[in-house]
Structure 1
Amino acid sequence: MRTLLRLFTIVALACAPAFAPSAAFAAGGPQVLVVTTGNEAQDVADYAVERLQMEARRWNFTLIEGTPEDLTDLGGIDVVMFLNTGPDLLDGAQQASLQTFVEGGGGFVGTNSAAASAADWAFYQEMLGATAVLPPGDPEAKEPVSFNAGSRITEGLDEDLEVTERWYRFDPAPVAPDSIILAQLGSGDPVAWNSEAYNVFYASPGGEGGTWGDRDFLQLIRQGIWWAAGEEGALVQNSDDAAPPWPYTWTFVLFVVAVAGGGSIAVWRLDKAESAKEAEAGGAPPVAAGV
């Protein structure tokens, strides 16, 4: 048993680097303050934040969960995200702080009901470039969402996204040149766009949990966050969080085998020496008398 415990310790120490947390996550990338206050479905909001935390670890940005009160001090924040937020969200001081932040180049990302979170605030409608028509429709059967090429936000999204959603309609709707339409329904109604005047990105999907489980939608959101943060470089996956390539995998396996093999020999020799000392200290075992 003692030998097995020692051998297990050696192997665990050899494997420890593979399970260390990613330093890139601690180092950062864009700092994103996400607010879900007033959402109509807490289970959807919780699931969305959980998925975004996974995206943050993998794609090198930091997600900070907050409330409207946190908007009064946005120092160190690169992007404010309203994730399915409810109506009448902000008081006067919070509105003033968010407006100063956006006008100063800060990023804003909204999903689903965030379009209606400040219906009486003129600047909010201006930065979104559209006004939501309330109430939204009931969840409909899956509808295809087609993406428009030519934007870093939609890069790599070549196939239609199909999701069941409570689609918001807009009047006025976003139009060029103030807004760049990134995605639309088959009817032509826009469902995702970004502002030309501000670092603002909005996506109408996100009200249903299944949407947050769709890889294409998550790609759209993370690329929207990266764009809103003003990042010029390509969005690159953290190598520490991704599966290592084949050569590295086999090199690591051989390393563990070598360490475990060398350790087992050392443990065997140590146990042999200890057994000899115990036998010497205790004396030779008695010999049974002959019959």
Structure 2
Amino acid sequence: MRTLLRLCIIVALACAPAFAPSAALAAGGPRVLVLTTGNEAEDVAGFAIERLQMEARRWNFTLVEGEPADLEDLDDVDVVMFLNTGADLLDEAQQASLHSFITRGGGFVATNAAAASEPGWAFYQEMLGATALTPPVEPASEQEVAFNAGSPITDGLDEDLKVTERWYYFDPEPAQPDSTILAQLGSGDPVAWNSERYNVFYASPGGAGKTWGDRDFLQLIRQGIWWAAGEEGVLLQNSDDAAPEWPYTWTFALFVVAVAGGGSIAVWRLDKDEARRESEEREPARAGV
């Protein structure tokens, strides 16, 4: 009976994590619809999504990959993200839906080529607060990006970031009071900013895969997503390391079996030792009889 009770306790302890809600599910972070439609570098887009999925698991937001058609119903979306998207990807219905979403307080995040995604749609340039010049014709070059303090989007980004990109330039450039510059090159050209009229954030880097592997750049993007979603609280990390992207069923089952198996062996040894001691204690009594 004691053995059975001990085994039950071991299994219960091993299974406890499966029944406790994760921090992400308990807190219910923002839901982000990300589009990469028209992206010229699919390998970069794929790596960027992989990194963002890791950020989402770690920092309590949900990333959902989508297509332009998904913009027609944004009722369950907090932020729309254009990740290096190509030009002219939206039809009139999708533009109207996104326009309504932004003007009623929805968040929008864009990176790199997305600045030039809708050149013929005036509202797109209005919400970005700038108009991109023709796509970069200069080769990629390493530039130093300096962050400006005072915004939750750049909080904790104290050191300059060296990034190799094909840089976008703008005319007109974002400017106060409609935009707040968050980062710029040594030349003074802005490379990241947020709108003061809408929940819109843009970062020019992101066209190179290496950029998405930089921790500071990922911090800028996740804090930009959090800000665009209208979240005022501090970002809460779910764990020290992002969980890998695999089904947990078999991993958990093996974990339970290992714990229960090791525990049962330990219990068996304890019972065996206890039985031996009881037997040894009874021997003198029998000898006295």
Q: Give the TM bin, normalised by the shorter chain.
A: 0.7 to 0.9
2:55/2:242 contact within 8 Å kept: no
Mapped partners of 1:12, 1:47: distance in 2: 39
Identical positions, percent: 69
Mapped partners of 2:40, 2:242: distance in 1: 34
1:22-52: CA deviations, max 9, x gaps? 7233443000000000001000001000000
Are residue 23 (structure 1) and residue 22 (structure 2) matched? yes
1:142-177: CA deviations, max 9, x gaps? 211000001000000000011100110001110111
Q: Aligned partner of 1:41: which letter?
A: A
Q: Aligned partner of 1:25: which letter?
A: A
Equivalent residue number for residue 109 of structure 1: 109
CA 1:162–1:15 in structure 2 vs 1: closer, same or farther (change >3 Å)? farther
TM-score, L = length of structure 2: 0.79
Mapped partners of 1:128, 1:51: distance in 2: 24
Are residue 61 (structure 1) and residue 61 (structure 2) matched? yes
Equivalent residue number for residue 279 of structure 2: none
CA shift, 1:266, in A, is 3.3
Mapped partners of 1:21, 1:69: distance in 2: 36
The residue matched to 1:133 in structure 2 has which SS? coil
The residue matched to 1:81 in structure 2 has which SS? strand
The residue matched to 1:127 in structure 2 has which SS? helix
Q: Which runs of 5+ in 2 are unaligned?
A: 1-8, 244-258, 274-289
The residue matched to 1:230 in structure 2 has which SS? coil
Equivalent residue number for residue 99 of structure 1: 99
Mapped partners of 2:101, 2:268: distance in 1: 62
More deviation, 10-19/161-170:
10-19
What is the RMSD of the two structures over their aligned residues, measured on CA atoms?
2.9
Mapped partners of 1:164, 1:20: distance in 2: 45
CA 1:90–1:216 in structure 2 vs 1: closer, same or farther (change >3 Å)? same
CA shift, 1:13, in A, is 7.7
Counterparts in 2 of 1:228-239, with a 5 A limit? 228-239=228-239
TM-score, L = length of structure 1: 0.79
The residue matched to 1:200 in structure 2 has which SS? strand
1:112/1:204 contact within 8 Å kept: yes
Equivalent residue number for residue 178 of structure 1: 178
1:137/1:167 contact within 8 Å kept: no
Counterparts in 2 of 1:123-272, with a 5 A limit? 123-239=123-239, 263-268=264-269
Equivalent residue number for residue 88 of structure 1: 88
1:57/1:241 contact within 8 Å kept: no
Equivalent residue number for residue 75 of structure 1: 75
